[in-house]
Chains A and B, each alone.
Chain A
Amino acid sequence: MAWRDLFKSAGPPAPEWAAYLEHFKSPLPRTSSLEDINFVVLDLETTGLNTRKDHMLSLGAVQVKNFEIQIERRMEYFVLQRDYSPNQSIGIHGIMPEQTATGIGEVELMQKLLSFLGSAVIVGHHIGFDVAILNKAIKRIYGKNLKNKVIDTVDLVKRWDRLGSTAPHRDLSLDAVCQRWKLPLHERHTAAGDTLLTAMLFLKLLGNLQKRGVNTLGALLRN
């Protein structure tokens, strides 16, 4: 056991973490109707694709509730990374060092994220990667992982393809999927842009799956 963990377990948990845990006192019943579920669609831009080495550069998140994207309930931040020097990933997300320099620190961002998330179900495209990056920060700060349920839109797409008679599509990138689902692809690859696009994709998937009888959280999580 590292000395830092010793130190952490010794002190009282941070108040925001305690408040966050409160939301999980009573677990979400799997029979909850989809209308009642709080979803948070989330997307990160990072310095690279290695969850161990790379860091977040920006975070976008927006709430989906009652089958509606609630633009009012959103988070959009650049993340302060002092030692960030642009590598090849800048070609994808286009985030400049000047922008990250105006961002907020990871600690502050995670505080905000916890209160924004609550017990919401986290949704994203290839969301496993984003959650891993987030958990690295959360773990460093609070010594724990996020407790939220997670839904990957990639899984939902695959499921829809299975339900339909069409052959499953190989290309499951957000670009390809959105093209298939007729979503506008302008100016992608910023956390904010991808978040909105993913949220729209999620709405469409949700609406269509609902028509096929997927009405509860349990049914949605079953894959």
Chain B
Amino acid sequence: MENAIPQRIFDSMQQYPPFSLMKDPDLMRIAERIRIRFVAKDQWVFQAKDAVQKQIYFVQEGAIHLLQQQQDPAQLVEACDQGEIFGLGPLVDSPHYQLGAKAEEDSLVYIIPQAILQPIIEKQPKVAWYFAQSFAAGKYAVPSSLGPPTLFWQEQQRQQQAFELLEIQSIDHSRKPVSCLPGTSIQAAAQIMRTQSVGSIIITNEAENPVGIITDRDLRNKVVSGDHPLSDSVDLIMSKPVITVKPDVTIAEVQMFMMKHRIHHLVITQTGRSDSLVLGVISEHDLLVIQGNNPAVLIREISRSKDGEELGRIRGKAEGLLRKYLYQEVAIGFISSIMTQINDAIIERAILLALKEMDEEGKKDPGVKWCWLALGSEGREEQLLRTDQDNALVFEDVDLERQEEVKAYFLQLAKKVTRFLYACGFEYCPGDMMASNPQWCLPLDAWKKQFSGWIFAPSQQHVLYSNIFFDFRPIYGAFELAEELSDHIFKATGERDIFLSFMAKNALQTPAPLTFFRQFMVERSGEHKDQFDIKSRAMMPLADAARVLILAAQVPQINNTFRRFDKLAELEPQNRALFEQAADAYEILVRYRALQGLKNQTSGRYFKPSELSKMERLNLRNSFKPLRELQDLLTVRFRLNFLI
């Protein structure tokens, strides 16, 4: 007998997960056993409390709504359209269906017998993961055997793989340690380095614990220069203390350490502490070899660059790195740290170049403390692509008679900085939220008054300002000024509950971005007609929610949206799942925006939903789910129903 009929069933399922994850013969076995049912509009496939059937369902065509039937009228929990599965109760031995399934339109539904599916799930972890995530999304109890629930199984799976790969590489590249004792002469140490042909030597004590390190650079700078004779012992010129890491360190972590400490070598010890056995050393060069590219190198180039164009060129290279990270599905937390450090270095360089120009033009430094603040997405450490620059400047309070002169200096400085950043590719802020605007270049006391004004009279405009300014992050200068501002905000919002309610209300202004939970809500008119605005429809509502919740929780120092959610998850165990999903969702959105931006050479803010693959659409749609729940939570917590 031919098998053309099951082959058609096979074809119609194979593009959709979890079937896309199955081996062909497994899916064929399923296709041969499918039953196809037609469910007319408004008919039930099953109702809540019905005994669970030993089968699950796949929407081949049409739309099925899963409804919470306890309430009257029944409440929509989930909408399944073409390619989605539902009725998973039998997989977790649930005796009754928790939700009813009703056809929203005439639908063709495939029925898959559990008996044929179960063995496939059991032998294919990927398929199991997919079901686990479906349970998480569909509010079923999650069987512990399937692992933690996650909305975005595919990303995480691949991320893990990427890291495993990196870990293996880092271990491969950690060499056998070349070491000597502290009393060794510089000459003897240099000899060892040459015979072993290594660029560094670790100085260890008797217990083989690391106490210092000497590199080629130390020999050049301290010995060849004549500062130390060759007969001196190594401990006189060694760098100490050494930064130590554990053997299972990932490349990502190595990179972070090197950038953070501005060093080029890390020592691997048994426990990761310095009072433990030396196992090896990782140099920046090793990293370069492994990766072929290195953000630390870019940062060094940035610190040497001479103008905005050069900065722009380096930022372009950073985008190449970003692309690589995104395609390798490296964790967004890591990617955004790297890109933030690069952006910060660029801003810092722009400031230094501007200061130099000011000096050359004979503009006299007023000699007061000041601090450059990044606002908005750069403030939140989420600016992966070059989007608008948002910044502000705060300076120390000065006598009234000096204020004008001091402010004029900083305004000029800020104008130069923003010009450098513009030349680097960061567009001017269309709302002119830049330090070069007299409104946003103020002494500390004026900033406090401004913030208090917003908090005590929360008009629409003031809330919008707060959303941008309250995410500020100090980049250069006297950070204590920024800390004082931050303290002020927490104190003032703590005294004025109503302000947070207004902020929360603002976070609800954008409804969940799906129309009828099926189509992406696209822009109806204007330049971006029929495109999806991922920033204002999906990301801002999440970022706004995170901000108001973290302000309410009085947690300072965390600007990043997904780290805010992580912190909230820690603070409120009862809402942990929701906050973790929100953090995941935000990461997904950041990733998609960056990918779309790189693909279309835009800011990534607008794209056509039709250009996404089915998988991408599903993942994006999943990322909208926590938003709806978060908005409910805000409504209840900030009593927004009473707020007119």
Interface membership of chain A positions 174-217, coded 1 if the CB is closer than 8 angstroms to chain B and 0 otherwise: 00000000111001001111011001100110111011000000
| Inter-subunit contact A71/B34 (CB<8 Å) | yes
The binding surface of chain A is classed by DSSP as mixed
Q: B-side binding surface: helix, strand, loop or mixed?
A: mixed
Contact (Cβ within 8 A) A192 B2: yes
Task: Please determine whether B36 and A69 come into contact, CB atoms closer than 8 angstroms.
Answer: yes
Given contacts A182-B61, A200-B108, A204-B106, whether A71 and B5 have CB atoms under 8 Å apart is yes
Bitwise, B29-50 to A at CB < 8 A (1) or not (0) is 0011111111110010000000
Smallest CB-CB separation from B4: which chain A residue? Answer: A192
CA distance A5 to B124 in the complex (A): 60
What residues of A have a CB within 8 angstroms of the CB of B61 in the complex? 182-184
Task: Please state if B31 and A71 are interface contacts (CB–CB under 8 Å).
Answer: yes
Judging by beta carbons under 8 Å apart, are B2 and A206 in contact?
Answer: no
Stretch of A73-81, A127-135, A151-159 at the chain-chain interface? A73-81
Query: Considering the chains assembled together, what is the distance between the CA atoms of A12 and B61 in angstroms?
Result: 51
B36 & A72 in contact (Cβ 8 Å cutoff):
no
Q: Is the CB of B39 within 8 A of A207?
A: yes
- A199→B36 contact, CB < 8 A: yes
Taking the complex as formed, is A44 at the interface, i.e. its CB lies under 8 A from any CB of chain B? no
Chain A residue with the shortest CB-CB distance to B8:
A196
Contacts of B38 in A (CB 8 A): 67, 200, 203-204, 206-207
Q: Is A173 an interface residue (CB 8 A)?
A: no
A165 shortest CB reach to chain B, Å: 18
From residue B40, how far is it (CB to closest CB) to chain A in Å?
A: 5
Q: Which of B2, B34, B36, B111 touches A76 (beta carbons < 8 Å)? A: B2
Which A residues are CB-close (under 8 A) to B7?
Answer: 192
A69 vs B4: C-alpha distance when bound (angstroms): 15
Known A-B contacts A68-B111, A193-B8; the reply to A78 vs B2 at CB < 8 A is: yes
Q: Complex formed: what's the CA distance from A203 to B39 in Å?
A: 9
| With A68-B35, A71-B36, A200-B36: A192-B108 Cβ-Cβ less than 8 Å | no
Q: Which residue of A lies closest to B9 (CB)?
A: A71
Q: Is B272 an interface residue (CB 8 A)?
A: no
Q: Provide the bound-state CA to CA distance between A74 and B3, in Å.
A: 9
**A120 part of interface (Cβ distance < 8 Å):** no
Q: How far is the CA of A198 from the CA of B36 in the complex (A)?
A: 13
Set of chain B residues within 8 Å of A182, measured between Cβ atoms: 61, 106
Contact A203 B2 (CB under 8 A): no
Give the contacting residue for B37; candidates A68, A72, A75, A184; CB below 8 A: A68
Q: Counting CB contacts under 8 A, is B138 at the interface?
A: no
Which B residue's beta carbon lies closest to that of A190?
B4
Asked whether B2 lies within 8 Å of A71 as measured between CB atoms, the reply is no
B56 to chain A, nearest CB (A): 15
Q: Min CB distance, A98 to chain B, in Å?
A: 13
Is B6 an interface residue, CB under 8 A from the partner?
yes
Output the nearest chain A residue to B105 by Cβ-Cβ distance: A182
A60 near B5 (CB under 8 angstroms)? yes
| Interface contact tally, CB-CB below 8 A | 76
B residues less than 8 Å from A190 (CB atoms): 4
B1 located at the interface, meaning its Cβ lies under 8 Å from any Cβ of chain A in the complex? yes
What residues on A are CB-neighbors of B108 within 8 Å? Answer: 200, 203-204
User: How far, in angstroms, from A74 to B108 measured CA to CA in the complex?
Assistant: 19
- How big is chain A's contact interface, by range? 20 to 34
Whether A75 contacts B1 in the complex (CB less than 8 A), given A204-B106, A207-B38, comes out as yes
Q: Mark B74-113, 1 if CB is under 8 A from A, else 0.
A: 0000000000000000000000000000000010100100
Chain B's nearest CB lies how many Å from the CB of A76? 4
Residue of A71, A204, A208 touching B6 (CB-CB under 8 A): A71
Identify B4's interface contact among A76, A203, A204, A207, CB under 8 A: A76
Within 333-381 of B, Cβ neighbours of A (below 8 Å) are at: none
In the bound complex, CA of A211 to CA of B40 (Å): 8
Chain A proximity of B270: nearest CB distance (Å): 60
Which B residues are in CB contact (< 8 Å) with A206?
38
- Convert A73-94 into 0s and 1s, putting 1 for each residue whose CB lies closer than 8 angstroms to a CB of B: 0111110000000000000000
Q: How many angstroms between the C-alpha atoms of A207 and B45 in the bound complex? A: 13
Chain B contacts for A208, CB-based, 8 A = 40, 106
Contact check, A62 vs B5: say whether CB atoms are below 8 A apart: yes
Instruction: For B5, list chain A residues within 8 Å (CB).
Output: 60, 62, 71, 74, 76, 192, 195-196
Query: Do residues B31 and A77 form an inter-chain contact, with CB atoms below 8 A?
Result: no
Please encode chain A, from 128 to 150, with 1 for each CB lying within 8 Å of some chain B CB and 0 for all others: 00000000000000000000000
Chain A residue with the shortest CB-CB distance to B36: A69
B265 shortest CB reach to chain A, Å: 61
A33 at the interface (CB under 8 A from B): no
Contact B35–A69 (Cβ < 8 Å): yes
Among residues of A, the one whose C-beta sits closest to the C-beta of B30 is A71
- Bound CA–CA A207/B34 (angstroms): 19
Question: Is the CB of A70 closer than 8 A to any CB of chain B?
Answer: yes
Query: Closest residue to A112 on the B side, CB-wise?
Result: B1
A28 to chain B, nearest CB (A): 22
A72: B residues at CB distance < 8 A: 32-33, 35
Closest to B35 in A: A68
Q: Is the CB of A76 within 8 A of B3?
A: yes
Give, as a whole number of angstroms, the nearest-CB distance from A94 to chain B.
12
Shortest Cβ distance from B9 into chain A, in angstroms?
A: 6
Tell me which residues across on chain A come within 8 A of B6, comparing CB atoms: 71
Interface hub of B2, B3, B7, B34 (most chain A Cβ within 10 A): B2
- Cα of A103 to Cα of B81 in the assembled complex, Å: 39
Q: Which of A76, A184, A196, A210 contacts B1 (CB 8 A)?
A: A76
Provide the bound-state CA to CA distance between A191 and B1, in Å: 13
Q: Check B32 against A71 for contact (C-beta < 8 Å).
A: yes
Q: Is the beta-carbon distance between B40 and A71 smaller than 8 angstroms?
A: no
Instruction: Report which residue of B7, B35, B40, B106 has the largest number of chain A beta carbons within 10 angstroms of its beta carbon.
Output: B35
Contact B36 A77 (CB under 8 A): no
**Beta-carbon contact of B36 and A203 below 8 Å:** yes
A64: shortest Cβ distance to chain B, in Å? 9
Contacting pair A193 B4 (CB below 8 A) = yes
* A182-B61, A203-B36, A207-B40 known; A77+B111 contact, CB < 8 A: no
Bound together, the chains give a CA A211 to CA B39 distance in angstroms of: 11
Q: Which residues of B contact A58 (CB under 8 A)?
A: 2
A181 to chain B minimum Cβ distance, whole angstroms, is: 9
Supposing A71-B33, A71-B34, A184-B61 touch, asked if A77 and B4 sit within 8 A by C-beta, the answer is no
A115 to nearest B CB, angstroms? 14
Q: Which has the most chain A C-beta neighbours within 10 Å: B3, B33, B40?
A: B40
Ordered by A's residue number, 27 sampled pairs between the chains whose C-beta atoms are within 8 Å are A58-B2, A60-B5, A67-B38, A68-B35, A70-B35, A71-B6, A72-B33, A72-B35, A75-B1, A76-B2, A76-B3, A78-B2, A183-B61, A184-B12, A184-B61, A187-B8, A192-B7, A196-B8, A196-B9, A199-B36, A200-B36, A200-B108, A203-B37, A203-B38, A203-B108, A204-B106, A208-B106
Q: Would you list the 4 A-B pairs with minimal beta carbon distance, nearest first?
A: A192-B4, A203-B38, A69-B36, A76-B2
Given contacts A71-B32, A72-B32, list 11 more A-B pairs with CB under 8 A: A60-B4, A69-B36, A72-B35, A76-B3, A77-B1, A78-B2, A190-B4, A200-B108, A207-B40, A207-B43, A211-B40
